Structure 1
Amino acid sequence: MKILYFSRDYTPHDHRFLSALAQTPHTIYYLRLERSARQLEDRPLPPQVEQVQWLGGRRPLAWRDYPRLLADLKRVIRRIQPDVIHAGPIQSAAFLAALSGFRPLVSMSWGSDVLLDADRSAWMRWVTRFTLRRTTVLAADCRTVQEKAAGFGFPRQRVVLFPWGVDLTRFQPGRADEFRARRGWQDAFVVLSLRTWEPLYGVDVVARGFARAARHNPRLRLLLLGGG
């Protein structure tokens, strides 16, 4: 089977998904929609994955780019003749895939696309509804996304719940005696937050909540390891 994996950019999540797909007997193609100003992942594609060269994936995305990208996406589909397209987020890569008319389409929500972006304007609500109506299966990482998609008319029974989890090759349980000793935290209860410091992720709520809790429990410590 030939799978066209179509994503907005190239992120650690994309690397993980493509690495898993590369271990299957299927032929995997990767299509990148944009190249953002900030590099998000520096690991190369798995050697089993073929990156498709096309008009996209060279600069940040703008709505005015969609007509020419749609025409070139149709050319890519005719050349590759995939058996399935896996595309996301909803209002970018999945929207273009839906516009192409290709089926079957597996649309993958990245969480904030359905939970936040879908309600930013009447246009975004239309784009979301248009894409979901032309989606064969929706991959979502939690029931909250499933329920929000249902509010746009997408059948719950066609949602695959797939929590993304963590990369255990990078994050795994272990002893941290030296780390704690350097900070005098041997007996501390440590709270770890890895979210990017953007309003979307509520890191300010974590900080305020921690400050209130620490007044009652002096053993608490907080590590904010995101950035932004």
Structure 2
Amino acid sequence: MRLLAVGNGKSVHVIGRVEAMGRRGHAVRLLTEIPGEKANQLTPPPRAKAPQILRYLWRMLRTQPADAVHVHYAAGYGAWLAGACGRAPLVVSVMGGDILADEQMGQNVLERWLTRSLLRRADLVTSKSAELTNHLTRIGVAPQRILPLVWGVDETLFRRRDATALRTRMGLAPTARVVLSPRALRPFYNIHVIVDAFAAMATASPDAVLVITEYQADADYREMLRRRIESAGLADRVHFVGKVEIDEMADYYSLAEMVVSIPASDGIPQSLLEALACGVPVILSDLQCYHEWVADGVSALMIAIETADLAAAMARLLEDGRLRTGLAAAGLEVIAKGGGLEANLDRLDAALSRLPRGMGRSPSLAVLVGVMILMMARALAARLPFLRQ
């Protein structure tokens, strides 16, 4: 099948999905307004202005040969134009922040309307959790067009590895016990709470070290964390490791004795499935969506987003080897029962094969006008900063 994917060309999740579909024999091209380094991407001309980018995206969406258009993340110019252009079948995979806008992205009224218009015009919408599915139905997506699909984790890539080489490269002692924060380095993911909790339990656990990845790093936030770490006297026990490539992440999971992920809102993050597949115990914020996959005290530990609660959970895991072993084993069972990539792709392929071909619809003039208004508003705000306040 010829698939025209639409999404962020720098997103590890989008690239991973596109490549996975390609390995299944689909001819996939990625249309993106944010070019990455991977090949087979359709991108606007370098240094193109917003109007040129929109024209390019529109032309590709209308003319690129494809049996289906598949939008990854239901927000952004490419996504909204894919909904407006009338190509069918149209598939949209929501990720969480695109539709839980009030909690994560703070989209304005027009942006939310554009996202909802896209979803209502889609022939198939994939959803990673029951919480996202419920939200989709509330905004008008028919239940029969929603496919529960977590996407899953590539078990050939994410599995327990020998992390000795990584430990040596990082200069960690053989006795160092690693706490890993794998989420984006942004305030939303409460990395500061992780740092404060680590500081609270560091004296009682002198071999513990904290490793923080820097995906989508917010420079100001990172600097604030560094100052906080230095004031706590922990600069030699907290390691910022930059952006870690996806094929190296299993080494970091395998290095860790636990993974900590405590956002205030979420879908089902790939990092959770990756950690479980690598046999690492996970500490999570107590969100309803997580309960669909893991059970507190059985396959993960769930906590309130508070420094004391997290510090106690980290100390408990470091002290209780039997608990660590039990959580790791239960996590592997979770992946075996439905968290693997190939099983999820089988379900997606089956759903794609059932979609009618060649049943296009008329372009949406209202959505086109909305996108152009948004483009002009953003350009004006860039020139007049007080409009962004």
Relative to the length of structure 1, the TM-score reads 0.73
Determine which of 50, 68, 73 is the counterpart of 1:84.
68
Instruction: Give the superposition deviation at 1:4.
Output: 1.1
Partner amino acid for 1:122?
A: V
Structure 2 residue 86 is the aligned partner of structure 1 residue 101? yes
Instruction: Give the superposition deviation at 1:131.
Output: 0.9
1:132-156 Cα shifts (integer Å, max 9, x gaps): 1111222233444333333322244
1:81-125 Cα shifts (integer Å, max 9, x gaps): x22111132122221110101121111223322223664211122
Structure 2 residue 213 is the aligned partner of structure 1 residue 225? yes
Instruction: Give the superposition deviation at 1:126.
Output: 0.7
Partner amino acid for 2:192?
A: D
Higher helix fraction: Structure 1 or Structure 2?
Answer: 2
SS at match of 1:29: strand
Q: Output the CA distance in 1 between the equivalents of 2:57 and 2:173.
A: 57
Determine which of 111, 117, 132 is the counterpart of 2:96.
111
Contact 2:57-2:81 within 8 A present in 1 as well: yes
Alignment correspondent of 2:19 = 19
Determine which of 158, 165, 183 is the counterpart of 1:195.
183
Instruction: Give the superposition deviation at 1:211.
Output: 2.9
Contact 1:196-1:226 within 8 A present in 2 as well: yes
Partner amino acid for 2:107?
A: R
Q: Output the CA distance in 2 between the equivalents of 1:166 and 1:155.
A: 30
Aligned length: 210
Q: Output the CA distance in 2 between the equivalents of 1:12 and 1:73.
A: 23
Map 1:1-228; keep pairs closer than 5 Å. Answer: 1-35=1-35, 42=37, 44-45=38-39, 50-52=40-42, 56=44, 58-59=46-47, 62=50, 64=51, 68-69=55-56, 71-77=58-64, 80=65, 82-92=66-76, 93-116=78-101, 119-157=106-144, 158-165=146-153, 168-169=156-157, 172-176=159-163, 179=167, 183-184=172-173, 186=175, 189-214=177-202, 217-218=205-206, 220-226=208-214, 228=217
Partner amino acid for 1:161?
A: L
SS at match of 1:87: strand
1:36-82 Cα shifts (integer Å, max 9, x gaps): xxxxx54x43xxxx5446xx3645884x55752454135424xx1x2
Contact 2:5-2:30 within 8 A present in 1 as well: yes
Higher strand fraction: Structure 1 or Structure 2?
Answer: 1
SS at match of 1:221: strand
Listed as ranges, the gaps of 5+ residues in structure 2 are 218-389
Q: Output the CA distance in 2 between the equivalents of 1:14 and 1:112.
A: 14
Q: Output the CA distance in 1 between the equivalents of 2:95 and 2:203.
A: 36
Partner amino acid for 1:194?
A: P
Partner amino acid for 1:31?
A: L
Contact 1:33-1:57 within 8 A present in 2 as well: no
Of the two structures, which has the highest relative contact order with CA contacts closer than 8 Å and spacing of 6 or more?
2
Alignment correspondent of 1:38 = none
Identical amino acids, percent of aligned pairs: 24
Q: Output the CA distance in 1 between the equivalents of 2:98 and 2:72.
A: 9
Instruction: Please report the RMSD computed on the Cα atoms of aligned residues, expressed in angstroms.
Output: 3.3
CA 1:196–1:74: 2 relative to 1, 3 Å: closer
SS at match of 1:183: coil
Q: Output the CA distance in 1 between the equivalents of 2:138 and 2:105.
A: 11
Contact 2:7-2:71 within 8 A present in 1 as well: yes
Contact 1:70-1:100 within 8 A present in 2 as well: no
Relative to the length of structure 2, the TM-score reads 0.46
Q: Output the CA distance in 1 between the equivalents of 2:194 and 2:130.
A: 23
Q: Output the CA distance in 2 between the equivalents of 1:153 and 1:95.
A: 16
SS at match of 1:114: coil
Instruction: Give the superposition deviation at 1:33.
Output: 2.4
Listed as ranges, the gaps of 5+ residues in structure 1 are 36-40
Contact 1:90-1:113 within 8 A present in 2 as well: yes
Contact 1:6-1:85 within 8 A present in 2 as well: yes
Partner amino acid for 1:99?
A: A
Contact 1:141-1:164 within 8 A present in 2 as well: no
Q: Output the CA distance in 2 between the equivalents of 1:161 and 1:61.
A: 36
